[in-house]
A = this chain, B = another copy of it.
């Protein structure tokens, strides 16, 4: 998860200087209105990796906002009075009044995170701790609290670089030493963080993942998100479901999908050799008795004309036709529209031991339905966690799940569209819709990036495939499927 937030996101100082007064104003205006109206309080949870500059960012919020109505509560290990009472007591004690804003450092997630990193809780205990937090946050939201949670993300090498820079200073504070210790657990902390975010990002208490390599980008992202959320809350008094990552400043945000390397190529002879080998392997794997206890669900999404159909044909070639089915998903029928959107996919689930191949899928909810506005804001936002839960259900039952995003460049797409128009037997494959969607290329890319960020899980990972060369894409797809089956059986 959060592939996009791991990409280097930068903002030069000049852009930041120009942007800063705007952010200040966009924060102050809603804050003053909230102070006057006293109709809700704001709680900002600041969490994530040590050394990501959480303190710096909070300092900036102090400078930007009306500091008389902004409290920062930092919690370390509980002391005296707190130790003698239930764990949540100290957070309850410090809840801000309506009109006030509290920043929470070392929140109710800290202990859960730490217990998990150091293996002091098993899956069940961890699950229970998160369930408790969900109930607490639901109650806060119901009691007129705008609850926003920021997760500061920093790649390991940047964390180390930052620490080295601080380390040079004499008399470094104790918390810096702690940060050095945390560096060792970087990988574990990242995984646990993802699990926590997956389980506790709700419409009424969303997590925002903040790429923190670049301080100016980081603080702009936090400031702009906060301003937007306060404004939304003031506008209708309802908590919005707003878990989408923020768009920052005038900058075009880079997503995981933008970062796919499209240069990979594969010659015809190599392709045919590898294809034949992989198809033989797939045929063998799908015939095994163990496979019949699992079954498989394959999802193909990608840019229009990226070659989903062609890749699927290469996958089914070696399979026993009695055990697979390809489902081409287009607009829902009236019957389907009259029921929850996942209904049409539940209906198409394969039997145990069988394979269902989806040419487009439930992900249309967060792609075309989001971009074209067929699904409301709140609806496509909650779809991320609904989809994760759906796929977890499938994985728990035993299905092996592979999801492919086939990517091509805009220019390659144009070439293929034209070729389709020029070839008689391909004309049916190109429609006005395709041309229309192409005009929204950037919006579709952002939607695809968010989708990968929020739904690539350990039990159902996304594979991002460059399809600029169809040969390359088909081999990647076949290889991924074979590897996934092999590691599962």
- Give A contacts to B, CB under 8 Å: 38, 41, 81, 84-89, 92-93, 95-99, 124-125, 127-128, 131-132, 135, 139-140, 142-143, 145, 335, 338-343, 346-347, 349, 351-353, 379, 382, 386, 389, 393-394, 396-397
Contact = CB atoms under 8 A, between A and B. Distances in A.
B343 A396 contact: no
A320 to B, nearest CB: 17
A58 B104 CA distance: 52
30 contacts: A38-B338, A41-B338, A41-B339, A81-B351, A84-B351, A84-B352, A85-B352, A86-B349, A86-B396, A86-B397, A88-B346, A88-B393, A89-B346, A92-B342, A92-B343, A95-B340, A95-B343, A96-B339, A97-B339, A98-B339, A99-B338, A124-B124, A124-B128, A127-B127, A135-B389, A139-B342, A140-B340, A142-B382, A143-B339, A143-B340
Contacts of A393: 86, 88, 132
Contacts of A95: 339-340, 343
A454 B89 CA distance: 25
Contacts of A349: 85-86, 89
A86 B390 CA distance: 10
Contacts of A353: 84
Contacts of A335: 97
Nearest to A385: B135
A379 to B, nearest CB: 8
A481 to B, nearest CB: 21
A224 B125 CA distance: 42
Contacts of A397: 85-87
Q: Sorted from nearest, which 7 A-B pairs have the closest CB atoms?
A: A97-B338, A143-B340, A92-B346, A124-B124, A84-B351, A86-B397, A84-B352
A366 to B, nearest CB: 15
Contacts of A41: 338-339
A123 to B, nearest CB: 9
A394 to B, nearest CB: 6
A85 B382 CA distance: 25
Given A128-B124, A135-B389, A347 B88 contact: no
Nearest to A123: B124
A145 B338 CA distance: 10
A118 to B, nearest CB: 20
A488 to B, nearest CB: 17
A364 to B, nearest CB: 16
Contacts of A92: 342-343, 346-347
Nearest to A136: B389
Contacts of A88: 346, 393
Given A88-B393, A140-B340, A352-B85, A346 B127 contact: no
Contact of A394 (B86, B98, B338, B341): B86
Given A84-B351, A87-B397, A127-B128, 9 more contacts: A86-B393, A88-B393, A92-B342, A96-B339, A124-B124, A124-B125, A127-B131, A135-B389, A143-B339
A336 to B, nearest CB: 9
Contacts of A127: 124, 127-128, 131
